[in-house]
Amino acid sequence: MQKPESRTAPDLLDELAVRQGTREFIVDGERRFTYGQFQVEVVAYAKGLLAIGLKRGDRLAILMDNRIEWLTANFAAMSIGVEVVGLNCWASAPELSYQLEHAKVCCLVASEKVRDRNLDDLLTQIRQQDRIIRLDHIICTAPIENTILFSSLSRRGSEIACKTFEAARRAVSPEDIACILYTSGSTATPKGVPLPQSGMIENMWRIGERMHLTPDDRLWLAVSLFWSFGCVNALFSLMTHGGTIVLQRDFDAGDALSLIEQERCSVFYGTPNMSLTLSEHPARATCDLSSLRTGITIGTPDQVQRIIDLGVEGICNVYGLTEAYGNSAVGDAHDPLETRLNNCGRPLDDVEMRIVDPETRQLLPAGKTGEITIRGFLTPGYLDDPDRTEESFDADGFLLTGDLGLLDEGGYLTFRGRLKEMVKTGGINVAPAEVEAVLIKHADVDEVYVTGIPDPRLDETLAAVIIPKPGAKPSETDLVAYCRSQLAAYKVPRIYRFIDRSALPLTSTGKLQKNRLPEFFVGRSTQS
């Protein structure tokens, strides 16, 4: 695949519509669009947005599951310089209210149902929050009172002269903000992360090259589009290589297996919990997944191996964060399996990565664990938050990720956990990820999460939350002995809690709330 010349999302769509207009681009159930058809659709809806008064610099939020309307609204907005705010369908009314106000959203595009909630009921709850929300326009995929029907936008667009649209279209530049995504973290409120258009093409082209994508590849996309992993990473990695995107509205393992087989998907984008449910589903044994060949995931060696066992032999492990367009280090599908299992790959071209001492900020040599810092394809700063922006970048423009990792002699990155998750026990810092990497190899352990809990003598002591493998009954005594055979004594967890996976505390985006892990150990005494 020839590298695209375009540096904005609408230019990229136009370029591909000319280069391969009859090739299939998007599959959404029975609805199928070639690159050329989708480009015509986007222009009609972009003119519709102009017709209702949207202009460059305005902000449009999208609240719906993975469907063609999400992508149409996204590209239509970017085509006229309107910034897209991806809203999490799992978010509560207070969370949505905060983001709508914080981003100063003037137009909302939504489905009539958001998960299991009716849109009109959800809007009522959002407006009941003590916030000033503008929302001049609400566009819905189904007829709802006081909203604009999504399908009517293209008809409204017929009122806009072509020269008016072309003027708005020409004003879009690579430096314009394509989207604003909210990311949770240790702070009380989520951070708005603006991402310029150019990086969505440049960075994603490089990711696609690590997967060795071609126009013949077909992406199974069940990862939610409101995450950077979906609307930035997966979407543009495939699009820059002229491939096809097969949407799954909501992840369901049985439906996913059927969809991958029927559409002959070759690219897997998924999380460890998604691959686990796929591999455990009763239909797995009878589904033909032989079309799968490459893809992206984040996980431990065992979790990556599980995806390989599904048939994705060229799976690539990655490291990244929303502030850096999703991924900054990516494995190469042609690297040896042992390499791809045990690290996150090398930094992408034009991405600089340094490992520094978290306290002195001094550069650390290869093989030493420290804070991962990144310079290259990055957000210009957090939305309307200069203080957080200033504290998150060093004087040389490197993003201070708050993540621990090491770069080996070959330039491969190994992730070691979050800096703020470090446990100080007996005056010594211990990275939970290091202990987790040992415990996960125990034959009875399916998942493990290590945290620190207060200790009167040691300041903190290590504790492990264990999800046993089906039918297994590991004991504390056995696990302590196993850890002592692999780790220094001060790194061995002293207490353990065995739970079902459903008991894990998760955020609305499905991320583990590690700060809540100590709750499992309230009232538990430590082992010596």
Q: Is 503 exposed, middle or buried (0-12, 13-18, 19+ CB in 10 A)?
A: exposed
Say what the pLDDT of residue 281 is: 96
Q: Is 456 exposed, middle or buried (0-12, 13-18, 19+ CB in 10 A)?
A: exposed
Say what the pLDDT of residue 90 is: 83
Q: Strand pairing partners for 453?
A: 461
CATH fold label, 9-16+24-196:
Rossmann fold (3.40.50)
Q: Are 466 and 496 in contact (CB under 8 A)?
A: yes
- For 51, phi then psi, to 5°, come to -65, -30
Q: Does domain 426-521 have CATH number 3.30.300.30?
A: yes
Q: Are 373 and 356 in contact (CB under 8 A)?
A: yes
Look at strands 177-183 and 191-196 and give their pairing. antiparallel
Token look-up 């919990």 returns 273
Say what the pLDDT of residue 186 is: 46
What is the C-alpha to C-alpha distance for residues 243 and 2, in angstroms, rounded to an integer? 12
Q: Are 59 and 20 in contact (CB under 8 A)?
A: no
Per-domain residue ranges of the chain = 9-16+24-196, 251-349+375-385, 426-521
Say what the pLDDT of residue 527 is: 46
The 3-state DSSP class for residue 519 equals helix
Look at strands 59-63 and 107-110 and give their pairing. parallel
Residue 258: Cβ within 10 Å count = 14
* C-alpha 67 chain-centroid distance: 17
Helices (H), 443-515: 476-484
What is the C-alpha to C-alpha distance for residues 441 and 445, in angstroms, rounded to an integer? 7
When the candidates are 3.10.20.740, 3.30.70.20, 3.40.50.980, 1.20.1070.10, the CATH number that belongs to 251-349+375-385 is 3.40.50.980
Q: Is 30 exposed, middle or buried (0-12, 13-18, 19+ CB in 10 A)?
A: exposed
The 3-state DSSP class for residue 447 equals strand
Q: Are 248 and 222 in contact (CB under 8 A)?
A: yes
In this chain, the answer to whether the domains covering 9-16+24-196 and 251-349+375-385 adopt an identical fold is yes
What is the C-alpha to C-alpha distance for residues 149 and 298, in angstroms, rounded to an integer? 38
Structure tokens at 197: 């258009």
**Which value, in Å, is the radius of gyration of the alpha carbons in the chain?**
24
Say what the pLDDT of residue 528 is: 40
List per-block mean pLDDT (blocks of 10 residues) for the chain, which spans 528 residues: 94 98 98 98 98 98 98 98 94 88 98 94 92 94 96 96 97 98 68 96 97 98 94 97 97 97 97 88 96 93 92 96 95 96 96 94 95 97 96 96 95 88 74 86 94 84 95 95 83 94 81 87 62
Q: Strand pairing partners for 196?
A: 177
Say what the pLDDT of residue 143 is: 96
Compute the Cα dihedral for 103, 108, 111, 116 and give only its sign.
Answer: positive
What is the C-alpha to C-alpha distance for residues 284 and 262, in angstroms, rounded to an integer? 14
Three-point CA angle 17, 22, 24, nearest 5°: 95
Q: Is 461 exposed, middle or buried (0-12, 13-18, 19+ CB in 10 A)?
A: buried
DSSP state of 471: T
